[in-house]
Amino acid sequence: MIPVLINFLLTAREISVITCTQNISNFTTEESQTTIDLASNYNTTCLEYTNIFIPNNVTCPPLNETDPYANDPPRDSRLISRSIKPYNGEPPSNLLLEKFYTPNEIFYVRNNLPVPCVHVGNYSLEVGGINLTTVQLTLRQLTTLFSPTTISAVLQCAGNRRSEMNRVKPVSGTKWTGGAIGNANWTGTNLRDILALAGFQRGNYSPDVLNTLHIQLTGLDQDPKTGTYYGASIPVSYILDDNFTPLVAYAMNGKSLTPDHGFPVRAILPGIVGARNVKWLQKITLATQEAQTIYQLEKYKAFSPSITSATVTQEDYNNTDPIMDLPVTSYLASHTDGQIVENGTILVEGYAYSGTGRHIQRVELSQDLGSNWILAEVTERTSKKLRRNWSWVFWKRNVSLSVGRNEIWVKAVDSGYNQQPQEIKDVWNFDGYLNVAYHKVVLNAS
């Protein structure tokens, strides 16, 4: 396939799909990247190119040969650093409860590699692959050729709550507590529309072939040692499901993405583990195989507790499904394990979430090691739309504490009646992924 100029391809379509009529351009260029808050109704508000991107005034500093991380952006001081090079940071979990839509500044950052600096004027996204025409989309085209779509969706790292798993038996990886998760309103272009532009039609593939295809996503973040880019993929079966809304996102809570979150565009694959939501997106490829990266083929797979990093085989990797849809989880975020609190009645609060578009049906607490369960009140949710809910819920409940040690368990049930496992040891895996066991918190009441 030879690349063709999208402008040439799409003159007619360009006219028909520019539906943005509202003028919200009363901002200076300086304001645009960081301060424009378009948090009103995204369905009627158009995120215009000039409001979210600064076309020409990003000057990328020269690469620092001795320290590829030297040009990483500054981070909010409220983030707890879990590693510096690459940077990984999470907010304290009680901060997460302050806003249903996690502020961009404290949204957890999970980088595998140095943060790439993107010159917006030079940026383009390449789209192509099996039976497709290769097209290059500039930022202006990405944001104006298509109607914008906004969805509320959680991003969660596969290693969220790994530190609890690490206490059961040591695991590798960033020792996240419960803050490697966040919820945001993401605005972008539906990935299906972009694929359609490159000629994707399910009728172009035999049914047998169609269901073996993958959509490979490549970032601009590069491994300083190997020169290879970060990349991951999702099976095309997701794209065949209209209930799924995959985005090439250019805005997060009404603002352009920050460098740490993938500026200028990233994949948002709602319900799917963070690792596939590739940041600094440079390329989308329809292919006959998964992304051929360690992030797809080796990392982000969770093995049986009987397999260790010393015993894992290539066959184990081959036979184990990549983590995609996130299973149901819940977290008591208002307090920390071992915290000293006052005796009496206290309010405990937290979040609960499930992937695959499932909503949270209920959240339950136990104060007697599971003999009895009481319902928490779900205080905030976006919807109970079946197969189309990508957001978390917030929950709360007053509990009475006795003087001394109080153990509180929390678990959630999703709309598919999926359950959380009780014991971390039963789902332990050497990389410490998907600790979705009951959250058990000890509070010491004085």
Give contact residues for a second copy (rule: CB under 8 A): 202, 211, 235, 237-238, 240-243, 302, 304-306, 320-321, 323-328, 355-356, 361-362, 364, 370-375, 384-388, 411, 413, 415-423, 425-427, 434, 436
How many C-beta neighbours within 10 Å does residue 155 have?
A: 27
- Residue 260 or 431 with smaller CB distance to a second copy: 431
**Least distance in Å: CB of 375 to a second copy?**
6
Instruction: Report the candidate in 285, 11, 22 with the shortest Cα–Cα distance to residue 148.
Output: 22
Contacts for 387 with CB less than 8 Å, ≥ 6 apart? 243, 356, 357, 358
How many C-beta neighbours within 10 Å does residue 427 have?
A: 20
**Distance separating alpha carbons of residues 25 and 441, to the nearest angstrom:** 48
- Residue 160 or 282 with smaller CB distance to a second copy: 160
**Least distance in Å: CB of 153 to a second copy?**
17
Instruction: Report the candidate in 398, 443, 399, 107 with the shortest Cα–Cα distance to residue 260.
Output: 107
**Distance separating alpha carbons of residues 254 and 34, to the nearest angstrom:** 10
- Residue 109 or 436 with smaller CB distance to a second copy: 436
- Residue 92 or 421 with smaller CB distance to a second copy: 421
Q: What is the largest CA-CA distance in the chain?
A: 73
**Scanning the structure block, which residue is given the tokens 């599971």?**
370
**Distance separating alpha carbons of residues 74 and 142, to the nearest angstrom:** 27
Cα first-last separation, the chain: 71
**Scanning the structure block, which residue is given the tokens 């085209």?**
141
- Residue 118 or 412 with smaller CB distance to a second copy: 412
- Residue 135 or 410 with smaller CB distance to a second copy: 410
**Least distance in Å: CB of 391 to a second copy?**
16
- Residue 74 or 170 with smaller CB distance to a second copy: 170
**Least distance in Å: CB of 306 to a second copy?**
5
**Least distance in Å: CB of 420 to a second copy?**
7
**Least distance in Å: CB of 323 to a second copy?**
6
**Least distance in Å: CB of 439 to a second copy?**
14
**Distance separating alpha carbons of residues 446 and 438, to the nearest angstrom:** 25
Instruction: Report the candidate in 326, 200, 327 with the shortest Cα–Cα distance to residue 269.
Output: 326
**Least distance in Å: CB of 325 to a second copy?**
4
408: which strand partners? 441
Return the structure tokens found at 51. Answer: 């409001």
- Residue 65 or 242 with smaller CB distance to a second copy: 242
**Least distance in Å: CB of 326 to a second copy?**
8
Instruction: Report the candidate in 10, 3, 177 with the shortest Cα–Cα distance to residue 90.
Output: 177
**Least distance in Å: CB of 366 to a second copy?**
8
How many C-beta neighbours within 10 Å does residue 77 have?
A: 9
CA 388 to chain centre: 16
**Distance separating alpha carbons of residues 89 and 74, to the nearest angstrom:** 12
**Scanning the structure block, which residue is given the tokens 């360009």?**
14
- Residue 94 or 366 with smaller CB distance to a second copy: 366
**Distance separating alpha carbons of residues 431 and 309, to the nearest angstrom:** 8
- Residue 94 or 418 with smaller CB distance to a second copy: 418
